[in-house]
Structure 1
Amino acid sequence: MDRLGIHSFVWTGGQTQAMLEKAMEKSAACGYKLIEFAYLRPENFDLDALARRAAALDLAVAVTMGLPFSHDVSSEDAETVKAGERMLADAVRAVRDIGGRTLGGILYSAHGKYARMPTRKGRDNSVAAIARTADAAKAAGVGLVLEIVNRFETNLLNTTAQGLAFIKETGSDHVRLHLDTFHMNIEEADPAAAIRLAGDRIGYFHIGESNRGYLGDGVVDFDRIFDALLDIGYGRDITFESFSSTVVDEGLSLACAIWRDTWTDNVPLAEHARRFIELKMDEAGRRRATNARP
């Protein structure tokens, strides 16, 4: 693991500059080395100030987002696809300007439940848009990762195998996968096997419980997850993600179906998550050492 991060939505809905800066301070105070923000609109935030605050707190920054249906690059409508590409280009620049290292999320389609199957033309549009965005991201020094999410949040990439096929079609060496234990628990027959299948193509990793709450309170088999990450030599960022209607803004609550309070006090949640992830990584290392003994 490179850095252990936490999503800003654990702390705030992120509607104001002050909210984001407070989230950074709380993340650092809890021992995290990376904070993940949702889409940062340059017209709404002082990105230079956020960059300075992140540097002062020794926090790396990642940004994840999902496209609205009005900007769906997997649409068959050319103007909608162009709007989506412009939004992705703006996001790449925002990540660069804040000194961020990664842009991820549902970049290849709208974030929401579709009422139809994906089409060949729409998929081709998405592949082309991501390939062009990858070129811009590479030039900006920003990693581009595509989050594989469940069937209720996209109709295009629900499994690791689908994601690998998609990034191969882009022809880009700058596109990697963004895997998430919450989504994998829904869609993958064997999440650990999916991690091993992806191997070095994983560029970013979300740790989240099956109920979006406290790690260990759901059904995700984290022992097998961390064994698999160790097996592939995963050395990039891992970020804890948890949502509760207590904090998450209305838009994301609707998109992710956050209908209840999975927790109400975020500091104990964040502190527990850091300890849990570090413990599971340590246990995986000790299992490997034990199994390696003659």
Structure 2
Amino acid sequence: MGRLGIHSFVWTGGQTQEGLETALRKTAEHGYRTIEFAYLRPEKFDLDRLARLAQSLDVQIGVTMGLPLDKDVSSEDDASVAAGAALLADAVRAVRDVGGNKLGGILYSAHTKYNRLPTRRGWDNSVATIARTADIAREAGVDLVLEVVNRFETNLLNTTAQGLKFIEETGSDHVRLHLDTFHMNIEEANPAAAIRLAGDKIGYFHIGESNRGYLGDGVIDFDKTFDALLDIDYQRDIVFESFSTAVVDEALSLTCAIWRDTWTENDPLAAHAKRFIEQKMDEARRRRATNARP
């Protein structure tokens, strides 16, 4: 695999420069080599300072986000689509300016529970917008990865198969999928098979438990997950994601329905997650070596 990382919301709600800098330092302190930030608005944060700090710590930055309803690129409203396209272009530039390597998340629709089915025109609007954003991202040296999430957070891409169809329609080889064990556990009939189906189209991978808390405290079969990642020779970043009302900002808590503290102390959580992921990957390698013996 590539770098092992952690979401900044384990450390901070992300509202202040000081909080983001602390998150970078804590990430490095725990031995993670990449951090995931929510969208960094250039007018609010000193991106150059963050970039210099990350470089000094040898921590890679990735950014994920979801679109608001008034900037929904899967809308049939031309003004909303145009506003969403502008936001995505700005986000790509912010990732570039902070020295980051990827923009992911729910970039293709609003991050919300919809009360309607997607429309063909909305799908086409989203495909066209992501194709244009991919060109901007390629020029900026930023990977573009689309997170496939559960039905309560988008109506457009809930399964890997839908995601593969979507990126094929963009016609771009610069768009990949961002898969997440939490969401796959809800939507995929067989998450490991979904990983194998996506293969080299996976550009980013989230490790999260079914209850959003400590890894191993839920129902996700991580043995099969890591076996599948080995089978496709996944070499890109793997990032641990966990939310608790103790840290996560209010807006995301509401959108992701984080109604309780899944944990209250972040240092033990981060240390456990790193050990857990490394152990599961090591176990998968040993299984593969054992099975390969004549």
Given the two structures, how large is their TM-score scaled by the length of structure 2? 1.00
Secondary structure of residue in 2 paired with 1:149 = coil
The corresponding residue for 1:45 is: 45
Query: Displacement of 1:146 after TM fit?
Result: 0.1
Secondary structure of residue in 2 paired with 1:62 = strand
Query: Displacement of 1:9 after TM fit?
Result: 0.2
The corresponding residue for 1:96 is: 96
Distance 1:170 1:251 in 2: 30
Q: 1:180-215, CA deviations, whole angstroms, 9 ceiling, x for partnerless residues?
A: 000000000000000000000000000000000000
Q: Which runs of structure 2 are paired with 1:57-68 in the superposition (5 Å)?
A: 57-68=57-68
Query: Displacement of 1:122 after TM fit?
Result: 0.4
Query: Displacement of 1:74 after TM fit?
Result: 0.2
Query: Displacement of 1:163 after TM fit?
Result: 0.1
The corresponding residue for 2:83 is: 83
The corresponding residue for 1:132 is: 132
The corresponding residue for 2:105 is: 105
Q: 1:89-115, CA deviations, whole angstroms, 9 ceiling, x for partnerless residues?
A: 000000000000010000000001000
Distance 2:40 2:154 in 1: 22
Given the two structures, how large is their TM-score scaled by the length of structure 1? 1.00
Secondary structure of residue in 2 paired with 1:139 = helix
The corresponding residue for 1:120 is: 120
Amino acid across the alignment from 2:36:
E
Q: Percent identity?
A: 78
The corresponding residue for 1:268 is: 268
Structure 1: 5+ residue runs without aligned partners? none
Distance 2:264 2:30 in 1: 17
Structure 2: 5+ residue runs without aligned partners? none
Q: Which runs of structure 2 are paired with 1:201-240 in the superposition (5 Å)?
A: 201-240=201-240
Distance 2:110 2:40 in 1: 17
Secondary structure of residue in 1 paired with 2:103 = strand
The corresponding residue for 1:277 is: 277
Distance 1:254 1:169 in 2: 32
Distance 1:197 1:243 in 2: 28
Secondary structure of residue in 1 paired with 2:32 = coil
State the Cα RMSD in Å: 0.3
Q: Say yes or no: does 1:2 pair with 2:2.
A: yes
Aligned residues: 294
